[in-house]
A and B are shown apart, each in its own frame.
Chain A
Amino acid sequence: MLTLETIDLNGAQSFLNLSNNLNLNKILPNKVTIWKLRNNNPMRKSYVNNKITIEAFDALTKLAVEMSKTLYPYIREILQSRDDIDKNPDPWNDFKNRFIELIYERFNINSMRVKKLIDSNGNDEILLKNILALALCSSDEGYQKLRSSLLNF
């Protein structure tokens, strides 16, 4: 979801709008609920173990897939930029810099796992895997693919 927020500058509001469009209001009624659920990530500064329910997990997965469908042209442009890094490096570099900024802002940078994410020399592979997974799941069948992948993580 942080990868999607890196692309959409107004990500938090977009997640809420999509949640309304997908009729997920019962599980994700407001920004705070989404934020609380996202705080289940142990790498975050504000990590709280709220014990995520399967319904909330499914709702967040649906949000991520719908968002990646909407953002597919941008996701593709970033992937294309990484493929032709010598000709058109700007979209990839912008994406990478903003991702690192968000990590500094929200994640516990003393953690070794987070340090790997902010290491600009070695984080290309991690970022590419993330964004490629979103691109491959940006379809009607994407929800099943992403859910299956996350459950097997």
Chain B
Amino acid sequence: MLLNKLIFNQSSVRLEIFGLPDYANNENKNQISIISQWKLMIIDTPLIEGNIEHLSSIMGAFYSYSNFLINNDNGFYESKFIDIKTENYFTHKVLLKSSKSDIKPLKINIGNAVLSDIINCFDQFNASIKVRKVNSVVLNNSPKKGLLKFINKDKTLSYLLPPLLSLCSLFLISSTLIYLYNISEDKEKKALINTKNTLHSIKSIVTIL
């Protein structure tokens, strides 16, 4: 049986996927659901190929790494098969580790243009309806407390927030005043005790003498 082949190109990068459709699900004969082999060709670097597990690992690594870069974090990714780290924002050092013990790890240095081509190629692969998705982008859509503040359309919150804030501020101010009042009282008490102590000490000196 002949394998189906899909090609995704982006400038300096080419991804080839080989596989078969899942006939049990009545899939089209051009579809690839069972990926048997893949090849990633990057200009001026050796050919990278492997099985579905490797592809998933490599795509996950590049996506996670690119998300670090987009989010302005330090670019660093480490896993069983692949390590990627940034050098001066201009070069990305990729270390591909083989599952076979006798094969040495492959070191590749890529620039920003090639990195964006790789991500673009993987995005084309993910967007294709002719092939089963392998690894998608992991995103965190929950906003941090940051610079972006939006109008809250929920009116109830905007009604409730001012009285809640005023109550909180009242509580804070009153508790601070009570605390300060206690401090002044304590000081007075301490002063009284100190005078007593000095009196006692004079008495004791007198008795010693």
Total of A-B residue pairs, C-beta within 8 Å:
110
Is B23 engaged at the interface, CB distance under 8 Å to the other chain?
no
Beyond A76-B11, A79-B113, A129-B89, whether A149 also contacts B70 by CB under 8 A is yes
Q: A144, B151: Cβ atoms under 8 Å? A: no
Q: B70, A79: Cβ atoms under 8 Å? A: no
Q: A133, B120: Cβ atoms under 8 Å? A: no
Interface range on chain B (Cβ under 8 Å from partner): 35 or more
Interface members, chain A 83-133 (any B CB < 8 Å) = 83-84, 125, 128-129, 132-133
Q: A76, B116: Cβ atoms under 8 Å? A: yes
CB-defined contacts of A125 to chain B, threshold 8 Å: 89
Q: Which of B89, B113, B139, B153 contacts A76 (CB 8 A)?
A: B113
Q: A53, B150: Cβ atoms under 8 Å? A: yes
Q: A79, B150: Cβ atoms under 8 Å? A: no
Interface members, chain B 18-60 (any A CB < 8 Å) = none
Is B71 engaged at the interface, CB distance under 8 Å to the other chain?
yes
Within the assembled complex, what's the spacing in Å between the Cα atoms of A60 and B68?
A: 22
Interface of A, secondary structure class, is helix
Q: Which of A51, A72, A132, A144 contacts B150 (CB 8 A)?
A: A51
Q: B111, A144: Cβ atoms under 8 Å? A: no
Is A6 engaged at the interface, CB distance under 8 Å to the other chain?
no
Chain A contributes a number of interface residues (CB within 8 A of B) equal to 36
Name B111's closest neighbour in chain A (CB-CB). Answer: A83
Q: B137, A141: Cβ atoms under 8 Å? A: yes
- Give, as a whole number of angstroms, the nearest-CB distance from B60 to chain A: 14
Name A152's closest neighbour in chain B (CB-CB). Answer: B144
Q: B148, A139: Cβ atoms under 8 Å? A: no
Q: A153, B112: Cβ atoms under 8 Å? A: no
Write the residues of chain B forming the contact surface with A, with a CB cutoff of 8 angstroms: 11, 66-67, 69-72, 89-90, 111-117, 119-120, 123-124, 126-127, 136-137, 139-144, 146-151, 153
Write the residues of chain A forming the contact surface with B, with a CB cutoff of 8 angstroms: 51-54, 57, 72, 75-76, 79-80, 82-84, 125, 128-129, 132-133, 135-142, 144-153
